[in-house]
Amino acid sequence: MTVVFTDIKNDIAVITIDNPPVNALSHALRSELSNALEGINNNTKIIAAVIICAGRTFCAGADIKEFGKPPLSPTLPDLMEQMDEFEKPLIAAIHGTALGGGFELALCCHHRVMDVNAKVGLPEVNLGLIPGAGGTQRLPRLIGLARALQMITSGKPINAEKAKKLGISEKVSEHNLLEDAISFAKGADVRRIRDLKVDGSTEEVENFQNKIARRSRGFLAPFAALDALKASMELPFEEGIVFEREKFMELVSSSHSKAQRHLFFAERAATKVDGIDKTTPTRKINHVGVIGGGIMGCGIAINFLSAGMAVSLLEISNEAVAAAGEKIRNIYQSMVNKGRISEEQMQTAINQLNLITDYDGLSNSDLIIEAVFEDLNVKKEVFRKLDNIAKEGAIIATNTSFLDINEMANVTTRKSDILGLHFFSPAHIMPLLEIVKTDDTSNEVIATAFQLAKNIRKTPVLSGVCYGFIANRMSSCYGREAGLLLLEGATVEQVDQTMFDFGMPMGMFTMLDMAGIDIGVMARAKLPNGSYDERAFSIHAVLVEKGHKGQKTGAGFYLYEGKEKKHNPEIDKIAEKMAHDFGISRCRKTTKEIEERCILALINEGYKILEEEIALSASDIDVVYAFAFGFPRYKGGPMHYAEHLGLKYVVDRINEFAVQYGDRWWKPSSLLVKRAKESE
């Protein structure tokens, strides 16, 4: 199938790329474009050439399916070298998005004309890569080092207006892109970016490295990008291109990039559910009801208000509902103060908020989400009331973190309309949305939930019903091992530092102090005896009894002066006493044991969740833990990391822990054992 077409318009060659759906720079496209350029270069009647794309976008980038495979000639760098030698003015006419290799293709042209709604960028860093076809060498020559540093290490695209301001494009087309590009081409000259000098200094690179050190902790790609950008100043263009390519190839084969590419595909695969496709009907959600005006309920409401939906928020009294309204206004004001939204956007959102104290005010809602106290009986009572007042076809959802949604659905006459929408705190910031289907949730309701997640810019993953669903069920196992390690001789600081060094954004005990230790203690108090390891959470219970609930009380696993945390010597005393009471011998713990106890507990529970079909796929579990708890993206999620370690090694270590600590909690998943044998 031909994907590149050439037409001559008034001595201007128009090269049209048509490789749906996103004009990826596949081998076939590169080959045909190379041939087209050669023919045009040899045609003395043609004075200039315009490259434009059919469909909804300019070239969206390299064909990611070719990563890791032997390169086929012409490679993208080969094509770029040919374009560098092109003897006639070459203009890129950009619409949609020109990302990655697509933007590098445009940078290799002599000039760029952009549609008013177009965007350009180099997002390779998000895949654990750097631009590999000249992006780190051409962009700083075009816009200066400082601006190139920001664009390449953030991976964020920029719009046409900003691109023109930076000097990336010379013209923004507000009418007919092709006509404007042809008109521009008639008076254009040959301007090769490779011949420009970089405006910048080595000191700028060093300062920028210090600036991004924290946010890029553990990642390889941002720092490789800095090296390549530095080379754009210190090396001739041709040598800089070679240096960039070497760095790119190192990253392609690295475990970091493989992990980040895994998550890239996993996030997209999570929206694909058997039995649900584009033909599955969905319900319109224009008005949302939220029950509960606490931090979680207010955060949930903000998601929908910011997406342009009307929200009715219910609380039990005028005082409570006024306090909820104040919380929401304060959160929006904070966004304004930080420059994330305008005053006008804040006011538009708040104008869509209706504060109510009567359930009848929810009767016209298309979706109602309860975010009340985490007690099954309380939630059942809410569902009974909603069953009586909600309109026909309304979706009723719970934000429960742990409880049995089937039991909530069973008190209604509309079980197919019930599901869980589990947001993570703070709900207006955290990107994950666990969509929890009951035994009776209809496909129409599930499909609506996925569409809704897209509308409010959340990453959705489907889960079945079990205690804690995917995210919190796994996290409880991580927390179990962290708690036991304290009794066995590790310190709070040692456990937290080990997991921070592994790549987690914070350690378990820092996270518990931030969230409030009392929340978990109250949840476990309602569980039947024997359903969790009481030893592991014994320190938590003692702290709460003393009123030490974390940051909010100034003491928890750490002591706090403001947000600054310090060692809490009382933890050492409590741990020693609890260890004595439970007959646990204490000894020094190694970093390796701490890391493996915590991470392998996650992995083993993940396989049990998969085995029970609570999760649809291992990659769904990776998405959940990466987005809910910050599992390092460069390790791909617990399930991907298990394969990196080797499944046989994982099983062997779990069996060793089972011998040492008992197999009640360390019995390996039968699916994990099966997969390990298959991998040998």
Residue 14 has pLDDT above 80, yes or no: yes
Model confidence, pTM: 0.92
Say whether the peptide bond before residue 426 is cis (omega within 30 degrees of 0).
yes
Write the CB contacts of 321 (distance below 8 Å, at least 6 apart in sequence). Answer: 293, 313, 314, 315, 355, 356, 357
Is 641 within a domain?
no
Of 444, 463, 482, the position where a domain reaches its end is 463
Same domain, 124 and 34: yes
Residue 620 has pLDDT above 70, yes or no: yes
Same domain, 121 and 235: yes
pLDDT tens profile 311-341: 999 999 999 999 999 999 999 999 999 999 9
Same domain, 528 and 650: yes
> How crowded is residue 521: how many other Cβ atoms within 10 Å of its Cβ?
17
**Single-letter residue type at 47:** I
Same domain, 72 and 9: yes
Residue 672's pLDDT is 98
Helix-helix angle 135-143:145-154, to 10 degrees: 140
Same domain, 221 and 347: no
- Domain with 507, as residue range(s), is 471-613+646-679
Same domain, 393 and 510: no
Same domain, 438 and 574: no
Domain of 607, CATH number, reads 1.10.1040.50
Residue 69's pLDDT is 75
pLDDT tens profile 329-388: 999 999 999 999 999 999 999 999 999 999 999 999 999 999 998 889 999 999 999 999
Same domain, 299 and 418: yes
Residue 66's pLDDT is 74
Of 431, 463, 495, the position where a domain reaches its end is 463
Residue 528's pLDDT is 80
Residue 71's pLDDT is 81
Is 279 within a domain?
no
Of 446, 463, 480, the position where a domain reaches its end is 463
Identify any residues that bridge with 9 across adjacent strands, giving them in sequence order. 12
pLDDT tens profile 55-67: 999 998 877 677 6
Residues tagged active-site:
104, 124
Residue 64's pLDDT is 67
Residue 319's pLDDT is 96
Cα distances (angstroms) measured from residue 516 to each of 508, 540, 550: 12, 10, 5
Same domain, 422 and 317: yes
Domain of 95, CATH number, reads 3.90.226.10
Same domain, 547 and 454: no
Is 545 within a domain?
yes
Is 76 within a domain?
yes
Is 624 within a domain?
no
Overall number of domains in the chain: 3
Residue 68's pLDDT is 66
Domain of 310, CATH number, reads 3.40.50.720
Reduced to 3 states (helix: H, G, I; strand: E, B; else coil), residue 24 is coil
Same domain, 214 and 239: yes
Same domain, 47 and 125: yes
Average pLDDT for 666-675 = 96
Rounded Cα–Cα distance for residues 520 and 523 (Å): 5
Is 636 within a domain?
no
Reduced to 3 states (helix: H, G, I; strand: E, B; else coil), residue 461 is strand
Is 174 within a domain?
yes
Is 632 within a domain?
no
